[in-house]
Amino acid sequence: MTPQEQELKLSQNIIDSLCHISERPDGWLPHIVFVEEEGEDGYLCYVRYNLSDYRADGTCTLQASDESIRQTNRNLSEINIDWLVTLWNRYVELSIEQKTWKDHAVEILLQNSNADENSIREFVEEHWQNLLLDNDNIKAFENWQHKDEAGEPCYYAFIWSCHHLDRNISDVQLLEVWRNGPSRSTTDEDDETEYEVERLTLDELAERINDECFNDTEDYVRFIQIID
């Protein structure tokens, strides 16, 4: 996907996660957000609003900081991606502080799987990652469910070029890119090179390093435990 497509996908994933929230923590809304709009001079600019409310379909209420404007027919998709991320991170912080995150996690997995509640609560206690979006946690739960069928988990080294993917890409996203095969850079839209994420056993990585064949100036490496 192009960077623009990835940004749209991330934006929609955040919005989907926000719309799944059934219990909003105290002190979360209203929250400052910025929306790109056309200014009086005809140029695009970022306008500050307070997000005071939103609904399950993604529509929301934006209010000017001086309360001179209050619009109830706006949409979360209009909010700048950086502020959607900020809004989500603030929700995570407050849900942890107010100890509501576990109920949210259990509710999401109950709605998106046929697993029994005991299994879900076991996963939530040991593996749920609050900073991940709901879809990523759902995929992680699906992988965890099949662990017994597939065998014992094993650590692998995943290697990718710094020109291909960001260093801080999540494990879930990195594994998805690896499974999908060669793809273009997500950090440089003008780079037409087809890159690939490699998976090595620990012995294979050690051999490559000992033979001075590991490109430590351009390649990232991460160890992930997965089930074949």
| Surface-to-core class of residue 54, CB atoms within 10 Å of its CB (0-12 exposed, 13-18 middle, 19+ buried) | buried
Tell me the pLDDT band of 94, cut-offs 50, 70 and 90. very high
Is residue 34 within 8 Å of 87, Cβ to Cβ? no
Per-residue pLDDT at 50 exceeds 70: yes
pLDDT higher at 83 or 65: 83
96-150 pLDDT, tens per residue?
A: 999 999 999 999 999 999 999 999 999 999 999 998 999 999 999 998 887 655 5
Q: Which residues contact 61 (CB under 8 A, 6 or more apart)?
A: 51, 52, 53, 54, 70, 71, 72, 74
183-192 as b/e: b if 16+ CB within 10 A: bbbbeeeeee
- The DSSP bridge pattern shows strands 31-38 and 44-54 to be antiparallel
Q: What share of the chain is helix, strand, coil (3-state, %, to 5)?
A: 40, 25, 35
Predicted TM-score of the model (pTM): 0.63
Q: What are the CA-CA distances from residue 1 to residues 85, 134, 180, 192, 199 (Å)?
A: 20, 21, 11, 12, 21
**Residues 52 and 24 sit within 8 Å (Cβ to Cβ):** no
Q: How far apart are the first and last CA of the chain?
A: 26
pLDDT at position 131 is: 85
Q: What is the pLDDT of residues 157-211, one digit of tens each?
A: 999 999 999 999 999 999 999 999 999 999 999 999 999 999 999 999 999 999 8
pLDDT score recorded for residue 135? 92
CA dist 65 and 69 (Å) reads 8
Q: Where does residue 150 rank: exposed (0-12), middle (13-18), buried (19+ CB within 10 A)?
A: exposed
Tokens of 9: 């996908």
Give me the chain's average pLDDT, please: 92
Tokens of 149: 């069928």
CA distances from 172 to 37, 126, 137, 227 (A): 34, 17, 9, 13
